[in-house]
Amino acid sequence: MSFDWEDLFPLVSVRKLVRDVSDHNPLLLSSSPVKTSPLHNREFRFELSWLKNEEFYLKAKSIWEQPVNASDPIDILNIKLKRIKKYFKGWGSHSF
C-alpha cells in the first residue's frame, strides 16, 4: 500500500493470515471501521533450538508413528505433518 492509497481509503487494513499447507500467506483486506480482534492462531515456526532437547525427538517420533487412516502417501504425509504441527505449535513457548 502507498500513502496515496491510504489517504483515499483510511479505514482499510491488511492483515497476514496464518498459512496451513502452502508457502504463501493469505491476506485479509478489511474496510470495516471497527477493529477486529486478532486471530488467536499463532503461526507455526520451527526452532532449531528444539533439536537440542531430547524430549523433542521422542515426542516427534511417537506422534509420527501413530497410525493414519489413509491410503494415499501424500495424505498420510499431510496428516502426520499436521499432527506434529498441532502438538509443537505451543510446545516451544512452554518448554523454552
Query: Tell me, what's the pLDDT at 80?
Result: 92
HSE value, Cβ hemisphere, 13 Å, CA-based, for 12 = 13
Q: How far is CA 24 from CA 18, 27, 47, 74, in A?
A: 9, 9, 20, 19
Query: Tell me, what's the pLDDT at 37?
Result: 54
Outline where DSSP puts E strands in the chain. Answer: 13-16, 27-30
Model confidence at 45, pLDDT cuts 50, 70, 90, reads confident
Residue 75 has pLDDT above 80, yes or no: yes
Give the start-to-end residue ranges of the domains of the chain. Answer: 1-39, 48-95
Which segment of 57-66, 67-76, 87-96 scores lowest on mean pLDDT?
87-96
Cα 95 to the center of its chain, rounded Å: 18
The pLDDT tens digits of the residues spanning 24-43 come to 778 888 877 655 555 556 67
